[in-house]
Amino acid sequence: MERRHFLQAGFATAALATLPRRFAADSRAADPLAELFNVRASDDGPLRLNSNENPLGIASSARRAVIEKLVDANRYPGAEKRALVRRIAAMHGVRPENIVMGNGSTEVLQMMVQALAAPGTRLVIPDPTFEQVEGYAKPFNLDLVKVPLTSAYVHDLARMEAAAREGRGAVLVYVCSPNNPTASITPTAAVDAWIQRAPDNVWFLVDEAYIHFVDASGYESALKWIGKKPNVVVARTFSKIYGMAGMRLGYGVAHPDTIRKLDAFAADSNTNILALAAADATLDDQPYLRQARQANDEARRILCDALEEMGITYIPSQANFVMYQVGDTKAFQKRMRDRDIWVGRPFPPMLEYNRTSIGTPEQMGRFVEVLKDFRTRSWV
């Protein structure tokens, strides 16, 4: 048996198909191993609704691509990375020089913080938001300004802009939309207006990790600024809709001069050859991507309808998670753990709210049953 086929057979035989059949991917290879390649994330163990992951697992096409590429896992990525960069650039209507790859989009966030880190640099972020940007800034002792969200749970752009104007040097503004943990979006027109009038010392790091789940009309990506504003960086990830959180792959899009600044702080060989293969295959797998979006939409409706029915306050979601009022977040988290369900961590200052990730519709049905039991006990 050839080495490639041996590897395929060995890995495929070990696989177990566990996801309910109605959400099995349609993108199957025309070979006897296709069904085994279609294996999905296992439902054994705790119900993990705490990290905004895609519950469907990686696409079967990505699984096949990884198995095929295992024979080259002893090689550093070179041509594979350049090919994916070209593909991503074409997908966004930019040039390869506009793209920097990252070990997840979090590395792109880190690159941006490090590229601007200098005495007097100010970092302006919404509060609460994804904590990594603040965390990356701590070693550099940047001038941090945290601006509370508005009563509608969107970025308070007026106060953020005022804080940016008071900066003494470079200013890095972090815009996360949809925002993590609130799953809310900040109006595109307002963000665009600020970018348009902002001086050159104000840099915008726009995190669009959850853009593929948005269904609100009028929402637009900040990618349209890439050809016009060197001070705009857009971060994207393969961790969410593409189901590759464990494979760590993301990218940034910016002006070529800005990309060179970011690339100076990128880890050498920060992409791995198997993740590149999986990403390339998933970009082609439109049935899987439609399926992931459909499953998320349906499961999100199940949770939100249940919250409505129970009279629990929640923030309308434009992502693959929902934040809702529970009282004591830590107590709620512990009680859910006792039921073998993992929900999100506390997000100060919103300590009365919990962020719960969206699982499959079947998983959300199970979660809702437990939540309703908690409601009868006055635990939420």
DSSP 23-77: GS-S---SSTTHHHHT------SSEEESS---TT-S-HHHHHHHHHHGGGTTS--
Query: What is the helix, strand, coil percentage profile of the chain, to 5?
Result: 45, 15, 40
Query: pLDDT exceeding 70 applies to what percent of the chain?
Result: 88
Distance CA 359, CA 300 (A): 8
As a whole number, mean pLDDT of residues 51-62 equals 97
Report helix angle 188-197 to 157-165, nearest 10: 20
Taking the mean position of all CA atoms in its chain, how far away is CA 229? 24
pLDDT tens digits for 7-51? 444 443 333 333 444 444 443 334 434 444 444 555 568 999 999
pLDDT tens digits for 113-167? 999 999 999 999 999 999 999 999 999 999 999 999 999 999 999 999 999 999 9
Token pair of 64 as six digits: 């096949």
How sure is the predictor about 289, in pLDDT bands with cuts at 50, 70 and 90?
Answer: very high
The dihedral through the CA atoms of 89, 58, 205, 82 has a sign that is negative
pLDDT tens digits for 331-358? 999 999 999 999 999 999 999 999 999 9
As a whole number, mean pLDDT of residues 57-64 equals 96
pLDDT at 43: 58
pLDDT at 45: 84
Count the Cβ atoms, other than its own, within 10 Å of residue 270: 20
pLDDT at 42: 53
Alpha helix segments (H runs only) across the chain = 3-13, 34-37, 60-69, 79-92, 105-116, 132-137, 157-165, 188-197, 256-263, 273-284, 286-310, 329-338, 361-376
Q: What is the pTM of this model?
A: 0.88
The helix/strand/coil state of 339 is: coil
The dihedral through the CA atoms of 128, 234, 218, 293 has a sign that is negative
Distance CA 182, CA 129 (A): 8
Does residue 52 surpass a pLDDT of 80? yes
Name the residue with higher pLDDT: 218 or 35: 218
pLDDT at 255: 98
291's CB contacts (< 8 A; 6+ apart) are: 23, 25, 26, 56
pLDDT tens digits for 177-205? 999 999 999 999 999 999 999 999 999 99
Does residue 64 surpass a pLDDT of 60? yes
β-sheet with 314-315: strand ranges across: 314-315, 321-325, 353-357
Instruction: Give the mean pLDDT of the chain.
Output: 91
Distance CA 141, CA 280 (A): 38
Q: Please identify which residue in the block is written with the tokens 């830590």.
A: 330
pLDDT at 352: 97
Query: pLDDT exceeding 90 applies to what percent of the chain?
Result: 87
